[in-house]
Structure 1
Amino acid sequence: MRAATVQLQSTNDRDRNLAAADRLTRAAAADGAELVVLPERLDLRGTAEDYAAGADTLDGRPVAWAKETARELRIDLVAGSIAERREGHERVANTSVHVGPDGDVKTVYRKIHMFDVEVGGVEYRESEHSEPADEIVLSETAGGVGLGLTICYDLRFPELYRILALRGARIVTVPANFTRVTGEAHWEVLLRARAIENQVFVVAPGQGRGPGAEGDSYGNSMIVDPWGEVLARAGGEGESFVAADLDLARQDEIRKKLPSLSNRVAGAYRWPEEARV
């Protein structure tokens, strides 16, 4: 199957962001992509005030666009993440939505790990405007391929990816908005590590940097295969898509010849004193 990442330069202008997403999603589908994944915060990037004012429900415009587009183009579409407003919640959710070729929502994943850090002399507090979730989800493409959904900072928590792989994920999506500082140091390394450890394809679109973009993002959207090979890569700046063919037969061969998932010794992964209890 063919997959594509769409790299955007999202701002606090939702109309502009969705227009760019639509244009590039259509271009990726015209290139043969059956699975198209968009970046984190595809619909809206900005301040806590921007999210509070602009977040929408799952019945709102961003998801309606994703459903209509997936149905028209007959693709699996992962609407990277959107700012989701929920009744009874003061903060928004950072939410990834998988829509199938029939236009129906297959799975909704809300980001678990909040980006509360200080890097490059800049402090980030995602939890000030976004509420963390606590549920791992696994979806499936129209062709029956296991699809794990994650978002950005989740990438640093390998337990999440191992659980998804053990539950049947063959592809994991990582819509992201890495900073330039963390991206230059860790983005490719982490993507390849998660792919190799779990023998999965990793499809990881990012936010590009450039004039008008919100923040100093890293871009460099990538698709990585289960051997850790980078199959496709965008640049750091601008809006674009990149695509690659995901060879599931090669994945099967890798898992057969180097069966690290089945060679796990789960009962040994504990401290000795715990084993004696």
Structure 2
Amino acid sequence: MKIAAIQMRSGLDPEANLAALEPLLTEAAAQGVDYALTPEVTMIFPENRDQLRSVAAPFEGHPQLARVGDLAKRLGLHIHIGSLPIPLEDGRFANRSVLFAPTGEQLATYDKIHLFDADIAGLNAYRESATYKGGEEAVTVPLDPFTLGFSICYDMRFPKLYNTLANAGANLIAVPAAFTVPTGQAHWHVLLRARAIETGSYVIAAAQGGTHANGRSTYGHSLIIDPWGKVIAELDHDEPGVLVVEIDPQAVVEARQRIPALANARDFAKPSLHG
């Protein structure tokens, strides 16, 4: 099976972002790709919450998603939109992934579970949960001959999600992302390799890269990692591009036989205080 990670530099205009995405997907299809993953915030990378509210469209009848479905049908491949903001009834948004079949129909959606809420010394508190509502359900979907597991960006710091996906049958795990440059330089490769190693799964990470219209800079370096934790393909830069690799489900079988961590895992009690 051939898979592709699409690296982008999304801006503030959904139509412009979709126009930038289409030739990248066309390039992937020309290389015989079966499944293509785009980054987090593919359709809109907002400058602030007000700007997000002014452009985010409802999920039902979403104009850009409707055209992605048409693209999937025309190009004959699975297109996985890494994420886009979807307005919710409580005034917040879901950070939602959407997978399209080659028929153009929507196969599955996933709302990002883990949200970045932090109090950082010397800086203002950051509350992603003030803008977004976290999802509550892990998602897998058959993608013959693989089973695809869903995650988004910050999720990668939470091994329990990936263990849950692998135990539910996932052997290819998607990680669309918009990593900052400092955290990308420090953590991007090691976290993604760790998630592949501990689950014995392929990991595909499609990234945003470069300086965006909102003033933010993202790390790029889209990766595809094999079940042994080896980086088998990388866009070693932050420019838009297409990363294509052929993957083999037998590699998952062999990795899990050599290191049967999923099978050997045990439940255990929480530590008690001593002394």
- Same fold per TM (> 0.5)? yes
Q: 2:138 aligns with which of 132, 136, 156?
A: 136
The residue aligned with 1:10 is: 10
Contact 2:15-2:64 within 8 A present in 1 as well:
no
Q: In structure 2, how many angstroms separate the alpha carbons of the residues matched to 1:117 and 1:241?
A: 33
**Larger CA deviation: 112-121 vs 251-260:** 112-121
The residue aligned with 1:23 is: 23
Q: CA deviation digits over 1:90-125, x for unaligned, max 9?
A: 011100001111111111100111122367976643
Structure 1 residue 262: Cα displacement? 1.3
Contact 2:5-2:38 within 8 A present in 1 as well:
yes
Stretches of structure 2 that go unaligned for 5 or more consecutive residues are none
Letter in 1 for 2:64: P
The residue aligned with 2:50 is: 49
Q: In structure 2, how many angstroms separate the alpha carbons of the residues matched to 1:62 and 1:105?
A: 13
Q: How does 1:72-83 map to 2 (within 5 A)?
A: 72-83=74-85
Q: In structure 1, how many angstroms separate the alpha carbons of the residues matched to 2:54 and 2:12?
A: 10
1:209 is paired with a residue of what secondary structure?
strand
Q: In structure 1, how many angstroms separate the alpha carbons of the residues matched to 2:111 and 2:123?
A: 25
Contact 2:12-2:213 within 8 A present in 1 as well:
no
Q: How does 1:260-271 map to 2 (within 5 A)?
A: 260-264=261-265, 266-267=266-267, 269-271=268-270
1:6 is paired with a residue of what secondary structure?
strand
The residue aligned with 1:69 is: 71
2:73 is paired with a residue of what secondary structure?
helix
Q: CA deviation digits over 1:65-103, x for unaligned, max 9?
A: 2211111111111101011123x2301110000111111
Contact 2:25-2:36 within 8 A present in 1 as well:
yes
1:261 is paired with a residue of what secondary structure?
helix
The alignment's C-alpha RMSD in Å is 2.0
Identity %: 36
Contact 1:62-1:82 within 8 A present in 2 as well:
no
The residue aligned with 1:196 is: 197
How many pairs does the alignment contain? 270
The residue aligned with 1:147 is: 148
Letter in 1 for 2:15: D
Q: In structure 2, how many angstroms separate the alpha carbons of the residues matched to 1:188 and 1:199?
A: 16
Letter in 1 for 2:8: L
Letter in 2 for 1:271: K
Structure 1 residues 242 and 118, CA gap change in structure 2 (3 angstroms): farther
Structure 1 residue 212: Cα displacement? 4.2
Letter in 2 for 1:199: G
Q: In structure 2, how many angstroms separate the alpha carbons of the residues matched to 1:140 and 1:89?
A: 32
Contact 2:146-2:249 within 8 A present in 1 as well:
no
Q: In structure 1, how many angstroms separate the alpha carbons of the residues matched to 2:5 and 2:214?
A: 18
Structure 1 residues 120 and 82, CA gap change in structure 2 (3 angstroms): farther
Contact 1:120-1:181 within 8 A present in 2 as well:
no
Q: How does 1:231-246 map to 2 (within 5 A)?
A: 231-246=232-247
Q: CA deviation digits over 1:169-220, x for unaligned, max 9?
A: 0101000000001110000000000000000111101101136464111111
**Larger CA deviation: 49-58 vs 176-185:** 49-58
